Amino acid sequence: MSKLDEKVGKYIQVVKDKGIDLDTDLLRKVTRGCGPSIYNADSETIAASQAGEMATLKNNFLIKKLGLSDGPKLDEAIDSVMETYGRSDTNKYRAVIYYMLTKHFGKESVYK
């Protein structure tokens, strides 16, 4: 089993545990799109309590990667995803958050 497969397996379990609809193929593509960041303990997770981290998520993923326009809907989506994931959960995996936001905005075509 490759390291990518191990990570995807871990993220699949997180998605199932959260009760989120699972599209394994999309989750694998989103995980692969995260690149080497998923193999570093610090960059694998998102610090939702840090404003700078949320700004980076919004600018680098939602606006640049998904091609969305800046506005309050992006902040509302991030807030909704964080609520669904669980604010008290200390391990908010980047790939899972990206997956949830991709599904939220119906931007699966970015990864096809």
Predicted structure pTM score: 0.96
Q: How far is CA 104 from the centre of its chain?
A: 11
| β partners of residue 45 | 93
DSSP helix, strand, coil percent of the chain (3-state; round to 5): 65, 0, 30
User: What's the pLDDT at 112?
Assistant: 86
Backbone angles phi, psi at 109, to 5 degrees: -60, -20
55-59, Cβ contacts within 8 angstroms, sequence gap of 24 or more: 57/97
Percent of the chain at pLDDT > 70 equals: 100
Q: What is the mean pLDDT of residues 93-104?
A: 98
Q: What is the mean pLDDT of residues 68-82?
A: 96
Residue boundaries of the structural domains of the chain:
3-111
Classify domain 3-111 at the CATH superfamily level: Jann4075-like (1.10.238.120)
User: What's the pLDDT at 57?
Assistant: 96
Residue 64 has pLDDT above 90, yes or no: yes
Let me know: does 94 contact 44? Beta carbons within 8 Å: yes
Burial tier of 57 (Cβ tally within 10 Å: 0-12, 13-18, 19+): buried
User: What's the pLDDT at 67?
Assistant: 97
Single-letter amino acid code for the residue at 6 = E
How confident is the model over 18-27, as pLDDT tens digits?
A: 999 999 999 9
How confident is the model over 35-63, as pLDDT tens digits?
A: 999 999 999 999 999 999 999 999 999 99
